[in-house]
């Protein structure tokens, strides 16, 4: 028995005792038994009220009432499971979208790198481009001359062949400067990290540091791993330490497994660029700002260093400038678009949730109107309006918390899936977006806010309700559907928003389907692509050249092979390099004087045919084009247009950035090189026999089953040298996945939003239409009884809805066309002016309208005046 | 709604009933009915408490721990709840009484000039 129950029992006893005593007193004064008891009761007052007041002393009344409201809300929802289910589903989707987007935003943008004092960690970038990449000496100068950083480190990312425990495996790793771990500031999990002396000079140290993941996966979490001898690209290394769990390098989506000193760069990559000022595309850099140094001081120091370098190396450095950007997402190169995209999607998710709330709000308002009579009676017998409002609010919040709980489950599944998903690329890209518990709190907050937002919609109705009017008027608000109400505007807005998302989804879908069938300039169908890096097997350039030719001969001899060739880089592989091109008459070979920059490939004979690149004029490259013969190239049509301004280019010359003349021997078709959404860009193919490369990709066109060919090629490579790690091997089409990836993401995201928007619109329109119809059913019946035709009745009942639908859709279409321009950056040839897109949007909206008003229309047409008028 | 009889009685100010109950209990533990009678008797029947309203007030005081309740036997030999002042309640009575005196004095000072003007 609770204290309250005990006290209430005492009270009852006390009251009985009191009245009994008073009665006895009255009898003593001479009253009759009956009169005495009656007088005693009268004198005591209202027993129930006394009990209630005493009960209030012992309870938190509001809490008890709240519980009552909750129980009532649950009962109401159980009674109308259809409504409850729809509402919960809509909210679950709306809230889940917000949580997922917020989870990704948090992981990618908001959460800093998991290192101590992450706010002092910055990426060094160039002022003239967003891709933060440098020549090694540039970073070295900043490291040695600055006064504002406690540490500066250059690093490169690359794939290595790691031999450990008797097996060779390609791993991704960083070559890092000696101050890298000072910049990062983490403590080793085992052993030690790399330090300045490891990076003092080439060969200073054979130390390698493993990431926690690599230690776990490749070394079986061996606690005695420190001191283990391994080989990286056939060079001997010793494991000296393991990084702590959760540290995967300083780029968020690239998972590094091993760290080695950058001083050993030449032995790993076969070329030496540590002293080259011209190789601007070699290293990235990350810095730690000293405590107490302000951003302006940093910038001033960086400017001073840049101008010193420019004075000292006027030929190599024309317009060098440094700046700092936030670390983790390749500076502003990916960071900018990613931040923009995520913020955009977040806003979209917010709008969708708002639309969902508006929708549920109008459904709620409609239900409140249905309950007008009940509310009026409750107000008439003395319930406070606040109490009624609270009840509606509690009902709304119960729904939204159910929705939020479902949303949490959905978001958890989606984010975990995303975190465990490997992008279709050889790069070790992962989204570290594992859901955080803080998201539950976020979901709860959103749910309550959403609940309040749509629960407050019937506010005006409740506070304006006049019990006299409602009860007298028999509950038929004949004004409904005549005046323009807030919910009409909300519905139109929502249809407009839905139309925007639908338009965007169609534009993006159309772009995606175009990009799947577009002319790439090459044909990846029935082509097997095998990438391997002979650097990782320590080949000299001559040995590599020999092996590559041998491999080409053997592969060409395979049955079913139509054509085969190899190249240092293939189009759309994300590794594109460019070459500055100068007119033949140039004498100034600074990069700023270049006519343009062209994509630059080194290819073997047969590559054109194997890749399906069209040779329009001239000849293919040949192995007779050697290091000693004059330089030649095959260029594409765009190259010809931009440099020669005519169609006849075979036999003409241009100069490279060394000032050496190159003769054009062939012309090929245009195509895509870096992204699918790019315009036509100039490109040039050079014979790989004139300037070799150790890192090549074998391209084989076959009419046999590609799977067999993949295996056959792997066998050939293994027979030639077991130590060659194969980086990628498979069909070219599947490997191109990454190129269509941005459009796929955009299409899926927009498609989901579009479908969700449609669902909302249908629910909203259906709700409002049936509400309007049911409110005016009596009036409509009278009209039918008086002889109105079906057409007139429909016009009266739902004319307003059609106007709303049409105007919302038109506004939405206009907005959608405007918004889809933003899409063209992500999706190939995205345009809403496409008649196909326009037609699809219009058709979809018409269908939406039909589906959502079909029910109410049927109800209107089947109005039977006799039944209805008898009922009321 | 109010009858003539009711109008002649003085409505109790908020919190005054609490003070009166505490004062009544100074003389020792009393049961509910006796408290009501005592208040009416001591005020020459000017203060007529609606007897029921006594009980929420008593429970309020119990909750504040100014009074306690115990079982006992009433004068006509029946079991009844006896209400008793606690040490804390006794202190509170002193505080409340001096507060009341101050307030009564202040109101009297405000009202006296008005009476003179009126005359």
On whether any CB of chain A is under 8 Å from the CB of B45, the answer is no
On whether any CB of chain A is under 8 Å from the CB of B65, the answer is no
pLDDT cut 70: percent of chain A above it: 90
Mean pLDDT of A494-518: 77
CA distances from A293 to A124, A147, A149 (A): 16, 10, 8
Query: Alpha-carbon distance A696 to A688, whole Å?
Result: 10
Query: Alpha-carbon distance A792 to A643, whole Å?
Result: 70
Question: Is it the case that residue A434 has pLDDT exceeding 60?
Answer: yes
Query: Alpha-carbon distance A649 to A657, whole Å?
Result: 20
**From the list B51, B55, B60, which residue is nearest A43 (CB)?**
B51
pLDDT of residue A664: 92
**In chain A, which residues have their Cβ closer than 8 Å to the Cβ of B51?**
18, 22, 43-45
- Inter-residue long-range contacts of A293-301, CB under 8 Å, 24+ positions, other chains counted: A293/A148, A295/A324, A297/A148, A298/A148, A298/A149, A298/A324, A299/A323, A299/A324, A301/A146, A301/A147, A301/A148
**From the list A14, A22, A24, which residue is nearest B55 (CB)?**
A14
Q: How far is B113 from chain A (nearest CA, A)?
A: 39
Using CA coordinates, name the residue in chain A closest to B83.
A14
Name residue A125's beta-bridge partners: A323
Interface of A with B (CB under 8 A): 7, 10-11, 13-15, 17-18, 20-22, 24, 43-47, 49-50, 53-54, 56-58
Query: Alpha-carbon distance A408 to A414, whole Å?
Result: 10
**From the list A22, A50, A56, which residue is nearest B55 (CB)?**
A50
Q: Do A10 and B52 touch (CB under 8 A)?
A: no
Question: Is it the case that residue B83 has pLDDT exceeding 80?
Answer: yes
Q: How far is B46 from chain A (nearest CA, A)?
A: 15
pLDDT of residue A430: 66
On whether any CB of chain A is under 8 Å from the CB of B9, the answer is no
Q: What does the radius of gyration of chain B's CA atoms come to, in whole angstroms? A: 17
Mean pLDDT of A220-247: 84
Q: How far is B115 from chain A (nearest CA, A)?
A: 36
Q: Do A45 and B50 touch (CB under 8 A)?
A: yes
**A interface test, pick of B3, B37, B40, B55 with most A CB neighbours within 10 Å:** B55
- Decide which of A640 and B81 is more confident: A640
Mean pLDDT of A294-312: 85
pLDDT of residue A61: 60
Backbone phi, then psi, for A434, in 5-degree steps?
-55, 135
**From the list A14, A24, A56, which residue is nearest B32 (CB)?**
A14
Q: Do A58 and B59 touch (CB under 8 A)?
A: yes
**In chain A, which residues have their Cβ closer than 8 Å to the Cβ of B78?**
17, 20-21
A579-601 pLDDT, tens per residue?
888 988 888 887 778 888 899 89
Q: Which residue intervals of A275-384 are DSSP H helices?
A: 295-312, 331-370, 372-380
**In chain B, which residues have their Cβ closer than 8 Å to the Cβ of A56?**
56
Q: Do B51 and A44 touch (CB under 8 A)?
A: yes
What is the torsion angle, in degrees rounded to the nearest 10, for the CA atoms of residue A560, residue A566, residue A572 and residue A578?
-160
A389, two tokens? 């409002």
A555, two tokens? 């592969």
Among residues A131, A435, A108, which one has the least CA distance to residue A280? A131
On whether any CB of chain A is under 8 Å from the CB of B31, the answer is yes
On whether any CB of chain A is under 8 Å from the CB of B59, the answer is yes
A370-422 pLDDT, tens per residue?
677 777 777 777 667 777 888 888 888 888 888 889 888 888 888 888 777 76
Question: Is the confidence metric ipTM above 0.95 for this complex?
Answer: no
Query: Alpha-carbon distance A156 to A359, whole Å?
Result: 52
Q: What does the radius of gyration of chain A's CA atoms come to, in whole angstroms? A: 38
Query: Alpha-carbon distance A430 to A210, whole Å?
Result: 18
pLDDT of residue A370: 67
Contacts of A354 (CB under 8 A, 6+ apart): A453
On whether any CB of chain A is under 8 Å from the CB of B78, the answer is yes
pLDDT of residue A480: 47
Q: Quote the pTM value.
A: 0.58
A666-714 pLDDT, tens per residue?
999 988 888 777 778 899 999 998 888 888 899 999 988 878 888 888 8
Q: Do A17 and B51 touch (CB under 8 A)?
A: no
CA distances from B39 to B6, B15, B33, B69 (A): 17, 15, 10, 19
Using CA coordinates, name the residue in chain B closest to A23.
B33
pLDDT of residue A334: 66
């Amino acid at each position: 028995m609770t204290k309250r129950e005990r006290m209430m029992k005492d009270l009852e006893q006390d009251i009985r005792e009191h009245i009994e005593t008073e009665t006895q007193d009255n009898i003593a004064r001479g009253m009759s038994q009956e009169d005495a008891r009656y007088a005693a009761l009268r004198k005591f007052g209202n027993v129930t009220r006394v009990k209630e007041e005493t009960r209030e002393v012992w309870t938190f009344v509001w809490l008890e009432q709240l519980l009552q409201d909750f129980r009532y809300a649950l009962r109401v929802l159980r009674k109308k499971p259809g409504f409850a289910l729809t509402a919960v589903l809509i909210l679950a989707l709306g809230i889940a979208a917000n949580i997922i987007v917020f989870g990704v935003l948090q992981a990618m943008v908001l959460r800093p790198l998991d290192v101590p004092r992450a706010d002092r960690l910055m990426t060094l970038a160039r002022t003239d481009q967003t891709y933060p990449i440098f020549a090694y000496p540039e970073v070295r100068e900043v490291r040695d001359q600055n006064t504002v950083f406690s540490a500066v480190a250059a690093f490169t990312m690359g794939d290595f062949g790691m031999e450990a425990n008797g097996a060779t495996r390609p791993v991704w790793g960083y070559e890092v400067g000696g101050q890298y771990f000072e910049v990062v500031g983490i403590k080793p999990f085992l052993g030690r990290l790399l330090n300045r002396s490891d990076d003092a000079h080439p060969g200073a140290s054979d130390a390698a540091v493993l990431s926690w993941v690599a230690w776990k996966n490749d070394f079986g979490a061996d606690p005695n791993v420190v001191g283990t001898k391994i080989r990286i690209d056939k060079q001997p290394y010793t494991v000296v330490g393991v990084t702590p769990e959760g540290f995967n390098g300083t780029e968020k989506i690239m998972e590094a497994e091993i760290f080695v000193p950058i001083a050993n760069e030449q032995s790993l990559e076969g070329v030496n660029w540590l002293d080259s000022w011209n190789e601007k595309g070699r290293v990235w850099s990350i810095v730690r700002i000293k405590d107490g140094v302000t951003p302006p001081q940093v910038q001033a120091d960086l400017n001073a260093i840049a101008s010193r370098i420019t004075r000292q190396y006027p030929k190599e450095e024309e317009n060098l400038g440094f700046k700092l950007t936030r670390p983790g997402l390749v500076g502003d190169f990916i960071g900018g678009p990613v931040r923009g995209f995520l913020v955009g999607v977040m806003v979209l998710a917010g709008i969708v949730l708002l639309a969902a709330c508006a929708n549920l709000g109008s459904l709620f308002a409609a239900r409140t109107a249905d309950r007008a009579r009940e509310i009026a009676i409750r107000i008439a017998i003395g319930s406070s309006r606040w109490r009624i409002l609270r009840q509606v609010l509690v009902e709304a919040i119960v729904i939204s918390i159910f929705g939020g709980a479902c949303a949490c489950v959905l978001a958890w599944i989606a984010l975990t899936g995303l975190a465990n998903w490997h992008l279709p690329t050889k790069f070790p890209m992962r989204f570290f977006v594992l859901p955080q518990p803080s998201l539950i709190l976020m979901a709860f907050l959103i749910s309550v806010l959403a609940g309040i937002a749509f629960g407050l919609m019937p506010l005006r109705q409740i506070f304006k309700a006049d019990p006299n009017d409602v009860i007298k008027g028999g509950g038929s608000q004949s004004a409904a559907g005549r005046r323009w109400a807030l919910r009409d505007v909300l519905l139109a807005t929502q249809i407009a928003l839905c139309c925007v998302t639908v338009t965007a989804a169609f534009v993006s879908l159309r772009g995606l389907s175009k990009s799947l069938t577009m002319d790439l300039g090459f044909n990846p169908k029935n082509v097997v692509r095998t990438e391997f890096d002979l650097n990782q097997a320590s080949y000299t350039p001559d040995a590599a050249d020999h092996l590559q030719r041998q491999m080409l001969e053997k592969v060409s001899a395979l049955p079913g092979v139509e054509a085969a060739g190899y190249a240092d880089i293939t189009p759309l592989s994300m590794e594109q390099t460019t070459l500055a091109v100068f007119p033949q008459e140039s004498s100034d070979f600074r990069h700023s004087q270049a006519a343009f920059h062209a994509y630059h490939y080194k290819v073997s004979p047969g590559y054109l045919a194997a890749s399906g690149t069209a040779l329009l004029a001239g000849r293919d490259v040949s192995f007779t084009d050697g290091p000693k013969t004059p330089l030649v190239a095959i260029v594409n049509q765009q190259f010809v247009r931009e440099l020669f301004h005519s169609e006849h280019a075979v036999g003409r010359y241009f100069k490279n950035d060394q000032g050496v003349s190159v003769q054009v021997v062939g012309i090929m078709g245009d195509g895509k090189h870096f992204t699918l959404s790019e315009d036509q860009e100039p490109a040039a193919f050079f014979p790989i026999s004139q300037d070799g490369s150790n890192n090549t990709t074998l391209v084989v066109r076959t009419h046999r089953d590609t799977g067999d060919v993949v295996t056959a090629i792997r066998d050939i490579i293994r027979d030639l040298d077991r130590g060659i790690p194969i980086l990628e091997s498979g069909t070219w089409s599947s490997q191109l996945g990454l190129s269509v990836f941005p459009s796929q993401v955009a299409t899926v995201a927009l498609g989901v939003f579009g479908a969700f928007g449609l669902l909302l619109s249908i629910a909203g329109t259906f709700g409002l239409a049936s509400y309007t119809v049911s409110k005016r059913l009596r009036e409509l019946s009278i009209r039918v009884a008086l002889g109105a035709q079906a057409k007139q009745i429909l016009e009266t009942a739902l004319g307003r809805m059609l106007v709303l639908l049409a105007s919302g859709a038109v506004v939405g279409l206009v907005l959608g066309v405007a918004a889809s321009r933003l899409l063209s950056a992500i999706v190939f040839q995205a345009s809403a002016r496409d008649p196909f897109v326009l037609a699809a949007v219009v058709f979809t909206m018409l269908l939406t309208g039909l589906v959502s008003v079909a029910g109410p229309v049927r109800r209107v047409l089947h109005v039977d005046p006799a039944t209805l008028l008898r009922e009321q | 709604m109010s009858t003539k009889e009711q109008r002649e009685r003085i409505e109790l100010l908020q919190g005054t009933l609490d003070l009166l109950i505490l004062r009544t209990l100074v003389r020792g533990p009393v049961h509910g009915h006796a408290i009501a009678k005592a208040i009416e008797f001591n005020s020459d029947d000017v203060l007529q408490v609606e007897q029921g309203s006594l009980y929420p007030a008593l429970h309020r005081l119990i909750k504040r721990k100014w009074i306690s309740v115990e079982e006992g036997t009433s004068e006509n030999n029946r079991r009844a709840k006896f209400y008793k002042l606690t040490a804390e309640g006794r202190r509170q009575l002193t505080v409340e009484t001096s507060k009341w005196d101050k307030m009564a004095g202040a109101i009297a000072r405000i009202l006296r000039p008005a009476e003179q003007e009126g005359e």
